[in-house]
Amino acid sequence: MSRWAPDARERLETAALDLFVENGYEDTTVAQIADRADLNRATFFRHFADKREVLFGGEDKLARLFADAIRAAPADATLTECLQAAFAAANVAMTPQQRAKAAKRVLVVAANSELQERGLLKHARMTRSITAALRERGTDELTARLGAEVGMLAFTIAVERWMQAGNGEPFALHAAAALSDLQVRAAELDSRSRLSS
């Protein structure tokens, strides 16, 4: 087994997902994952704190991409423009390869409540990361929290649509559309028009 592997993290993720789909999450050990990736257990634990984390590394990366893009947005950008900048930045992480992995992940996570809880923790961290980045721009506290919730809902809806759509459709298109759909509805929370569609 090679001790030095520049693509170790990705190999471990791929091996873990394949094994989780084949044998179930519960019945897969870290040793089996490392073995399938042609690496050893120590290498696994250099990259992931536990077996659950191997499924959620992408969320940590996205949280950083979101926050960096919001911080880098022009000083006069609206909240919607900040979120659009975040999703545009996320586009680099949303490759067709990631899309195939995401489909497997959905299956694995749906079958295990412990994984659902970890997924919610990651979702909450992404929300907090967006809130903090908006707050740093001088956005008032409630608007920052609302913007982060609406942004994460737009992101979730965009991922669902991106997964359902054919290959080749860029994620950023779905993200912009989902955000726009929510923005229209957010402006109408107290209207009667959409309650009986």
Cα 101 to Cα 17, 37, 134, 145: the distances in Å are 8, 16, 30, 30
Cα 145 to Cα 78, 128, 150, 178: the distances in Å are 15, 8, 9, 18
- Residue 10: which residues within 8 A CB-CB, separation 6 or more? none
Q: Which stretch binds a second copy (CB under 8 A): 53-61, 92-100, 102-110, 111-119?
A: 111-119
Cα 23 to Cα 20, 59, 61, 89, 103: the distances in Å are 5, 24, 27, 35, 16
Q: Which stretch binds a second copy (CB under 8 A): 9-17, 24-32, 77-85, 100-108?
A: 77-85
**Beta-strand runs (E) in 25-139:** none
Report how far Cα 153 is from the mean position of its chain's Cα atoms: 11
Range 5-34, binding a second copy (CB under 8 A) = none
CB 11, min distance to a second copy, A? 28
Q: Which is nearer to a second copy, 36 or 123 (CB)?
A: 123
Contact between 136 and a second copy by CB under 8 A: the answer reads: no
- Residue 19: which residues within 8 A CB-CB, separation 6 or more? 28, 32, 33, 36
Q: Which is nearer to a second copy, 43 or 127 (CB)?
A: 127
Choice from 55, 90, 94, 150 touching a second copy (CB under 8 A): 150
Alpha-carbon radius of gyration of the chain: 19
Which DSSP category does 165 fall into? S
Contact between 196 and a second copy by CB under 8 A: the answer reads: yes
CB 144, min distance to a second copy, A? 10
Contact between 194 and a second copy by CB under 8 A: the answer reads: yes
Q: Which is nearer to a second copy, 15 or 69 (CB)?
A: 69
Q: Which stretch binds a second copy (CB under 8 A): 9-17, 26-34, 62-70, 185-193?
A: 185-193
Kindly report the number of other CB atoms within 10 A of residue 26's CB atom: 11
Provide the binding-site residues for a second copy, judged by CB under 8 A. 76-81, 113, 116-118, 120-121, 123-124, 137-140, 142-143, 145-147, 149-150, 153, 157, 181-183, 185-192, 194-197
